[in-house]
């Protein structure tokens, strides 16, 4: 795996402004990696192209299950599959997978480069204790910011969204785009939208939230994958059904807003 950008690396000056996004909002087939892969292959091949960034939700092969063994990528077949999709389309691809670790599996966000290689892995730092996630999955410990087409992208997973300190760490690592993949249920969707907008406003960054639609055995999911600009405005919304949407963001908006309204520079650090 190529190195994830560390906190002490000098901010890159050779970076692009436009970032084409493809948000895949599926109705995940419960604990069935093969069925979900077949759907993703069709969606990615139909919508992704060279230079795009494809994003799929949390635990996209199995749904938000506490049966970690149902989806753990013990043989690396999941990574090979999504890496192959990235290579075949010439795109970057971000997906939520269950990965092995020394103790329990991890609920992770991974990034594949256009050559199919795995370039970043973020393990969800805040397990969702109300569902017992901490009993089935090991928590991560490290924030991750990865270089995607010269743009600094911070990775997070679902319940992480409620903990703003993670995103401050990503901003300190130079993040301009904050990606939140999730299986966020309908009963709390208003809170999710409010939190996504808050993370965008307070960090003067684009926030990209990718959620699932449909149902699992216990919960309904509302979709509402969205792109939010650095002022907190929703500029793309996928609605409630299983769908794929494309939207290009202009990073010049982040840079201009941070220069003209220097809230990040003005904050008092502890």
Q: Count of residues for the chain?
A: 270
Beta strand spans in 92-205 (E): 92-99, 106-112, 118-123, 145-148, 151-157, 177-181
Q: Which residue has the tokens 């299983």?
A: 242
Centre a 10 Å sphere on the Cβ of residue 203 and count the other Cβ atoms it contains.
Answer: 23
Per-residue pLDDT at 242 exceeds 90: yes
- Global pTM value: 0.95
Residue 15 has a pLDDT of 63
Q: Summarize the confidence of residues 41-52 as an average pLDDT.
A: 98
Tell me which residue of 119, 121, 40, 55 sits closest to 85, measured CA to CA: 40
pLDDT in tens, 190-232: 999 999 999 999 999 999 999 999 999 999 999 999 999 999 9
Q: Could you state, in order of their start, the residue ranges of all structural domains in the chain? A: 19-264
Per-residue burial over 164-192, b if 16 or more Cβ lie within 10 Å, else e, is eebbbbbbebbbbbbbbbbbbbbeebeeb
- The tokens for 262 are 């220097």
Per-residue pLDDT at 4 exceeds 60: no
pLDDT band at residue 90, thresholds of 50, 70 and 90? very high
pLDDT band at residue 1, thresholds of 50, 70 and 90? very low
Cα–Cα distances in angstroms (integers) from residue 87 to residues 84, 104, 113, 219, in the given order: 5, 30, 7, 34
Enzyme catalytic residues: 58, 124, 158
* 3 state SS of 98: strand
Residue 3 has a pLDDT of 40
Tell me which residue of 43, 41, 49, 40 sits closest to 21, measured CA to CA: 49
pLDDT band at residue 12, thresholds of 50, 70 and 90? very low
Homologous superfamily (CATH) for 19-264: Carbon-nitrogen hydrolase (3.60.110.10)
pLDDT band at residue 270, thresholds of 50, 70 and 90? confident
Dist. CA 96–CA 148, nearest whole Å = 17
């Amino acid at each position: 795996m190529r190195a994830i950008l560390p906190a002490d690396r000098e901010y890159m000056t050779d970076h692009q402004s436009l970032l084409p996004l493809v948000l895949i909002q599926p109705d995940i087939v419960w604990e069935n990696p093969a069925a979900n892969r077949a759907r993703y292959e069709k969606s990615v091949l139909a919508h992704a192209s060279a230079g795009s960034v494809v994003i799929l939700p949390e635990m996209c092969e199995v749904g938000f299950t506490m049966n970690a063994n149902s989806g753990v990528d013990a043989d690396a077949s999941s990574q090979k599959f999504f890496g192959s999709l990235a290579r075949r389309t010439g795109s970057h691809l971000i997906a939520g997978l269950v990965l092995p670790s020394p103790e329990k599996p991890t609920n992770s966000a991974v990034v594949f480069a256009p050559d199919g290689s795995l370039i970043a892995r973020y393990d969800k730092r805040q397990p969702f204790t109300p569902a017992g996630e901490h009993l089935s999955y090991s928590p991560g410990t490290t924030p991750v910011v990865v270089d995607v087409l010269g743009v600094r992208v911070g990775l997070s997973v679902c319940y992480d969204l409620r903990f703003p300190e993670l995103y401050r760490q990503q901003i300190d690592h130079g993040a301009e785009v904050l990606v939140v993949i999730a299986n966020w249920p309908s009963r709390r969707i208003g809170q999710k939208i409010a939190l996504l907008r808050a993370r965008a406003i307070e960090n003067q960054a684009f926030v990209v939230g990718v959620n699932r639609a449909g149902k699992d055995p216990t919960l309904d999911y509302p979709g509402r994958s969205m792109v939010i600009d650095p002022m907190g405005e929703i500029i793309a919304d996928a609605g409630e059904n299983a769908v794929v949407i494309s939207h290009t963001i202009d990073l010049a908006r982040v840079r201009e807003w941070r220069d003209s309204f220097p809230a990040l520079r003005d904050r008092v650090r502890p």
